[in-house]
Amino acid sequence: MTTDHGNILVVDDTPDNLRLLSVMLSEQGYKVRKALNGQTALKTIHQVPPDLILLDINMPSMNGYDVCQKLKKDPVIQDIPVIFISALDDVLDKVKAFEVGGVDYITKPFQSEEVIARIENQLIIQRQKKQLQQEIKERQKTEQTLRVYLHAVSHDLRNPMLGLSMVLKNLLKKNQDKKEEKIEISWQVLEQMSLSCDRQLNLINSLVETQQFEMGGISLDFRPLNLFTFSQQLATEWEPMLKEKQAILLTQIPADLPLISGDSDRLWRVFENLLANALKHNDNGIKLTLKAEVIETNKSNFIRCILEDNGVGITPEQAATLFESYQRGEEAKRTLGLGLGLYLCRQIIEAHGGEIGVITEENNGAKFWLTLPILGE
């Protein structure tokens, strides 16, 4: 019983040559397809690309050189190795074969051992090339995961830590003249500090599971979530940062809004990123408004949340790539350095079954929106 070593297309206008090569290759375990002319060869290559092509040069209408040139101009099939088989033994013929993209040249009459050896040599090269390309993709994927991880560590952990730091500094400032050993802390402030610590721990735990970001996949802990309560907690925790920037956050989310099914910690990261970006890329004194409404469609109902500001806004060109992963150079400048933060926001919202986007006019503020399915819909 033969073993399948590869898929080979033999192109020759002489039936006897096709038959001879087909039998010889089949006995060695190769799958063989045949074509009597260049036009037929190009059609079958597009339909089912072979691993390698044995191509005769002297054929009517379209010779082997023409076939190879057309093949190499098509990005889908241009990497298929072509070995020319010809009775032409002139050096110039061989040189032209390599110039049009051939990887090897076999002169007729040929020996079966030579043909098999040259075919196997090219197939080994192709396998090594594919293996290298796969390794490059995996390395790029690993580097992307690492960038996401480092961004989350340096950026997402900064927000809850900054809030906690400001609360502690305010306490120290209020009591700097008293210099007492004990400082009174209100229950509300203590609860706020505790929540901030909890969020940091939850974020650290999620960052340990870096594999969740591979292939755009994020694991979520779905639970019923009240967006009104969620927004009130968000505004309270961000009060010190807003005060520092002389900014105002108006929460206009109705108390009777339907529940959603979501991961509170992940969604917190989304809103924190949006708030942090608004404060970072606008002057002090910005006004932000957070609101939500039920949107009805033929298929299902969902909640649309909107965070808008009266800042500098974003151009349409910047908005076009705003939610893509971070890219260096001009691309990074065009997105104002928002990079991975908004990329992760999109990942999280899409993992919830929603969408995220931005409506903007330059010099007229930015309006970020996101949708979340209603619980039970």
Report the pLDDT averaged over residues 205-211: 51
For residue 202, give the nearest of 275, 266, 155 by alpha carbon. 266
* Domain match, 12 and 128 both: yes
**pLDDT of 209 over the 80 cut:** no
219 shares a domain with 122: no
* Buried/exposed code over 199-235 (b: 16+ C-beta within 10 A; e: otherwise): bbebbeebbeeeebbeeeebebeeeebbbeebbebbb
Same structural domain, 221 and 332: yes
Q: How many domains does the chain have?
A: 2
Domain-ending residue, one of 100, 133, 166: 133
Q: Count of residues for the chain? A: 377
| Domain coverage including residue 79 | 6-133
Residues 226 and 105 in one domain: no
Which carries the bigger pLDDT value, residue 343 or residue 338?
343
Section 275-291 average pLDDT: 92
| 92 belongs to a structural domain | yes
Q: What is the mean pLDDT of the chain?
A: 83
φ/ψ of 360, rounded to 5, equals -150, 150
E strand or H helix at 55: strand 52-56
d(CA 223, CA 237): 21
CATH code of residue 351: 3.30.565.10
Q: Are 81 and 122 in contact (CB under 8 A)?
A: yes
Higher pLDDT, 165 or 279: 279
Residue 319 CA to residue 322 CA, distance in Å, equals 5
pLDDT tens digits, 105-139: 999 888 889 999 999 999 999 999 989 989 998 88
Domain annotation covers residue 256: yes
Which pLDDT belongs to residue 205?
Answer: 57
**Tokens 């101009």 appear where?**
73
Domain membership flag for residue 152:
no
Terminal alpha carbon distance of the chain: 57
Q: What is the mean pLDDT of residues 305-331?
A: 76
Tell whether 129 and 220 lie within a shared domain: no
Note the pLDDT of residue 111: 87
Sign of CA dihedral 344, 322, 354, 307: positive
pTM exceeding the 0.85 threshold for the entire prediction: no
Band of residue 32 on the pLDDT scale cut at 50, 70, 90: very high
Residue 364 inside a domain? The answer is yes
Q: Is residue 178 in a domain?
A: no
Say yes or no to pLDDT of 327 above 60. Answer: no
Residue 68 lies in a domain: yes
User: Per the structure block, which two tokens stand in for 207?
Assistant: 């960052």
Rounded CA separation 85/105 (Å): 6
On the 0-12 / 13-18 / 19+ scale of CB atoms within 10 A, 134 is exposed
> Is 257 in contact with 228 (CB distance < 8 Å)?
yes
For residue 185, tell me if it sits in a domain: no
Please give the pLDDT value at position 206: 55
- DSSP character string of 152-177: IIIIITHHHHHHHHHHHHHHHHHTTT
CA distance 46 to 41: 9
